[in-house]
Copies of this chain bind each other. A is one copy, B any other.
Amino acid sequence: MAARQIRSWQSVQQEVRRRIKAREWRPGEMIPSEAELAAEFGCARATVNRALRGLAEAGLLDRRRKAGSRVALHPVRKATLDIPVLRNEIEAKGLAYCYRLLARRLCAPPAEMAIRMKADAGERLLQLSGLHLAGARPYVLEGRWINPRVVPEVEAVDFEAISPNEWLVTHVPFEGGDIAFSATSASAEEARILDCRPGDGLFVIERMTWSGDQVITSVRLVFAPGYRMHTQI
């Protein structure tokens, strides 16, 4: 019987995980209340709460006031993945990072992008195109829009010297954004720039960031063939 003491929230969490895994508590079933578990383990209810809250965030439990806690039926897996900071990612591979500005202009965006950027009618945005290199190899093709009305200082920045992303994260606070992952087929121009064949399947990340109700920037990253984004669950 002399089981290890279950006093820390980590050990409570581990024990609950074990019971779920061992099917002592089956999917969809109720588990004892926090107070009961606290009594069983001989710890405070707050400790049990801390443990169960983590399991609920991980999607392993469904918790509701009054109703109690159930083992989730479909352990909807939530993966937390690190959004790559290109410079770090490339340098972590032991390669030299380099950003090359390909184009820069102030122009009216296409209708779809104007909506995405919440631009006023006829408003001109800063359009940037650039290439991130890992050593001598093309790594990511970046197409970006920035709203100079929201970020006036941007017009004076020399993006030959610093990549837009690095400038933005250090100079413009933002509140949130959204990210989409998808795939595309390399166009002729993309193939030329990324040094691959037209039609190659390429991984794409699109990100938009905002502050308040204003859209700061919208960026599309097209990765060279073979790129994989990896995480654990």
Q: Which residues of A contact B (CB under 8 A)?
A: 17, 20-23, 27, 73-83, 85, 88, 169-170, 173-186, 199-204, 209, 211, 223, 225-233
Contacts and interface: CB of A to CB of B under 8 A. Distances in A.
A179 B233 contact: yes
Given A74-B169, A233-B83, A199 B185 contact: yes
Contact of A76 (B76, B169, B211, B230): B169
Contact of A199 (B182, B199, B211): B199
The complex is assembled from copies of this chain, and their number is 2
A176 B233 CA distance: 5
A78 B201 CA distance: 25
A200 B181 contact: no
**Most chain-B CB neighbours within 10 Å: which of A74, A78, A226?**
A74
A178 B230 contact: yes
A71 to B, nearest CB: 10
Nearest to A21: B173
A79 B179 contact: yes
B177 A233 contact: yes
A79 B81 contact: yes
Nearest to A202: B183
B169 A183 contact: no
B20 A178 contact: no
B81 A21 contact: no
A179 B83 contact: no
**Most chain-B CB neighbours within 10 Å: which of A21, A73, A182, A225?**
A182
A178 B231 contact: yes
Contacts of A82: 76-78
